[in-house]
Amino acid sequence: MNQYQNYQAFLEDLTAWGNQVYEQQFEYYPKKTLYTLLQKATQSAEQDVFSPFLYITLSAHLDEDETLLLAAALYAQQDKKRLTAEFLSLFLHEEETDLSGTELFYQANPLLFECRTDTENKQAYLQITPRILLFLQGIYLERQDILGMDWYYDLENPLPFLGKGIALYQKIMDCLSSISGRKLAYLQGEKGSGRKLNYAYLAAQYNMNLAVIAYAELESEQQLREIQRECLLHHAMFVIELPQQEDDLDPLFHWLEREETIFLLGTRANLHGATSRQRQYLPFSISSRQVLEDKELYEQLTLRYPWECEEIRKDFLNRYNFLPGRMQDILELAKAYALSQGSACITTDNLRGAILGVSSHSLDQYATKIQCLYRMEELILPDMPKQKLSHIINRVRNRKLVYETWGFLEKSAYGNGTAMIFAGPPGTGKTMAAQVMAGALGMELYRVNLPAIVDKYIGETEKKLNRIFDEAEKSMAILFFDEADVLFSKRTEIKESNDKYSNMEIAFLLQKMEEYEGVSILATNYLQNFDNAFRRRVSDIITFSLPDAKLRLQMWQSMLPSRLPVSDEINFEFLAGQFELSGSMIKNALIYASFLAAEDEEPQLTMGQILKGLSHELEKSGKKLSRGEYGEYGHLF
């Protein structure tokens, strides 16, 4: 049998075959003679003569009757004829098939054919869809981008390193090959844990590209068909990414009824009703814990990027517990920041900006982001709480080194986050200390106002807290729970049903703080409201007391901006020794006094203005000093 020198020769033979059938040469067996052409095309393909027709029949898994239908349709459209059911009957021979022309006509694969109606004759006819037809005619087609579709992997590109802890593709492949019939493969895991990459490795085993389809963006069967055709034309396996919330999957399974294997990925633990889909359900799961423990995976991921120095890369690995997908997004953005600043290497500042920039969490719905402008040297505290704060900051920095590299995670599988209590009167520096910590660690700080979170409806408080921790997990933000007394002061003996639910809310918050891998802080004015059971479940307690005279003197002097005109007569020693104030009260008094100074023709901050600001601040808290308590400045009042 001679081989085809090119695909055009095959098309010429197909036209000749169609003409013989159309001229009703009944001794001519259409399917057998078509098979002869396909054998010749197959032998030619072994000599690198590519046949689009042969490719479609194999990739679309067409049986003999469907292949005959495709050949008849291609002949008809090449010869400008209309493929009706009656026309199709010419290509069927009673010895070759049990189907009638009408049956085959109406069972046509919607991926390859579209049914139209001749309005004049009111007669239905089949057409090969436009892009498939162009491909079958030997016209090369560029790859199309379609809404809801992401070309995730190309065979031409090398696959990223896949760690041992998340390599499930071989297991999936073994299941698919050993189980017959229609199948439903579902790969579950957190976003960024390597689900798509596993499917990319699986596709590569079949020598295919990979496309990912977002189910949330699928609006119609027609949209899915267009995506499927592109995958067929460009030899791509496709996988459907399910939304986080429960969704109706019935339309999807109806649209994909002809697929032998449906590939899905999602975050849900299991698919509702998956076992009743008349397919063999094959669930697989990626453990985030195993991913995070895979040192080689993170080494390979970070080594793909240029660094200003090795210490920055090591510090990044030791401090953050991001899943690979999020870490790659951060590194890509950090590299972009470096390039835009004229450098090829990632710096600490590039990383910090990228971590904040990649955060896609929705904490703003439940909490307030606080700008972290303060440094440790600006925080005026007694030595003990300041040392404790420094120790906690270093502990967060070295968390992965101690727990993972040195192996303490094996001894302590639970409660390895950093949860603490900041206790002290208002204005003593609790919020500022949280800002200093966040700034030193390069992390976001979110203040959660507990009075706004606590809900009168049973179970709603827990739902809100759960969302807060879930969203914070995405960026490893520091959670600062202000006015924690609102929740913890509700712990009571159970005298009625509401008391039981109130105590459940407290227990739930503490449980989430223990589970949270990041940093969480409970701020309270009343540490006595926390019983010993609660204190044992946090890693640290820092007490913020009212400053003594020495610290108050530092505060009075350090809180004055360098550009503020200040009178030489101001007696800071008197202010510090005479008035027992918190840091925030000192700051507010100075701001009030500065506005008084701004009213003068020659603005200058004076002792009198400061004392008036101080008096105003004390009156807000219900205190009114006598003239004598102002000492030698009493005449001003």
Report the distance separating Cα 227 and Cα 230, nearest Å.
5
Residue 617 pLDDT more than 70?
yes
- CB-CB neighbours of 24 under 10 Å: 8
Query: Range with the lowest mean pLDDT among 82-86, 350-354, 355-359?
Result: 355-359
* Partners of residue 479 on adjacent β-strands: 446, 520
Query: Range with the lowest mean pLDDT among 22-31, 41-50, 337-346, 484-493?
Result: 484-493
Which has more pLDDT, 309 or 464? 309
DSSP code of residue 429: S
Confidence band (pLDDT; 50, 70, 90) for 95?
A: low
Query: Range with the lowest mean pLDDT among 210-224, 346-360, 546-560?
Result: 346-360
Q: What domains can be seen in the chain, in order of their start residue? A: 7-136 (no CATH), 149-291 (3.40.50.300), 293-358 (1.10.8.60), 368-543 (3.40.50.300), 549-636 (1.10.8.60)
Any idea which residue has 């010993």 for tokens?
532
CB proximity list for 94: less than 8 A, separation 6 or greater: none
pTM (two decimals):
0.76
CB proximity list for 29: less than 8 A, separation 6 or greater: 93, 95, 96
Alpha helix ranges (H) inside 366-456? 383-397, 399-400, 408-411, 430-441, 450-453
Residue 210 pLDDT more than 90?
yes
Q: What is the pLDDT of residue 493?
A: 46
Residue 553 pLDDT more than 60?
yes
Q: What is the pLDDT of residue 166?
A: 84
Report the distance separating Cα 548 and Cα 546, nearest Å.
7
Query: Range with the lowest mean pLDDT among 267-271, 307-311, 342-346, 400-404?
Result: 400-404
Any idea which residue has 């986050």 for tokens?
417
**Nearest one of 78, 125, 75 to 102, comparing CA atoms:** 125
Query: Range with the lowest mean pLDDT among 366-370, 409-413, 448-452, 510-514?
Result: 409-413
Confidence band (pLDDT; 50, 70, 90) for 96?
A: low
Confidence band (pLDDT; 50, 70, 90) for 492?
A: very low
Any idea which residue has 């926390």 for tokens?
530
Residue 301 pLDDT more than 60?
yes
CB proximity list for 113: less than 8 A, separation 6 or greater: 69, 73, 126, 127, 128, 129
Q: What is the pLDDT of residue 261?
A: 95
Q: What is the pLDDT of residue 22?
A: 84
Query: Range with the lowest mean pLDDT among 37-41, 261-265, 460-464, 562-566?
Result: 460-464
Residue 273 pLDDT more than 90?
no
Query: Range with the lowest mean pLDDT among 197-211, 294-308, 410-424?
Result: 410-424
Q: What is the pLDDT of residue 461?
A: 80
In 3-state terms, what secondary structure has residue 81?
Answer: coil
Q: What is the pLDDT of residue 414?
A: 60
The mean pLDDT value of the chain amounts to: 87
Tokens of 594: 């500065």
Q: If you average pLDDT over residues 38-46, what whole number do you get?
A: 92
Q: If you average pLDDT over residues 166-175, what whole number do you get?
A: 94
| Residues 90 and 21 sit within 8 Å (Cβ to Cβ) | yes
Query: Range with the lowest mean pLDDT among 75-84, 95-104, 271-280, 538-547?
Result: 95-104
Report the distance separating Cα 575 and Cα 561, nearest Å.
18
The strand pair at 183-188 and 209-214 is best described as unpaired
Q: If you average pLDDT over residues 194-219, what whole number do you get?
A: 95
Confidence band (pLDDT; 50, 70, 90) for 636?
A: confident
Query: Range with the lowest mean pLDDT among 95-99, 489-493, 547-551, 632-636?
Result: 489-493
**425-473 tens-digit pLDDT:** 999 999 999 999 999 988 889 998 777 777 766 578 888 888 888 888 8
CB proximity list for 245: less than 8 A, separation 6 or greater: none
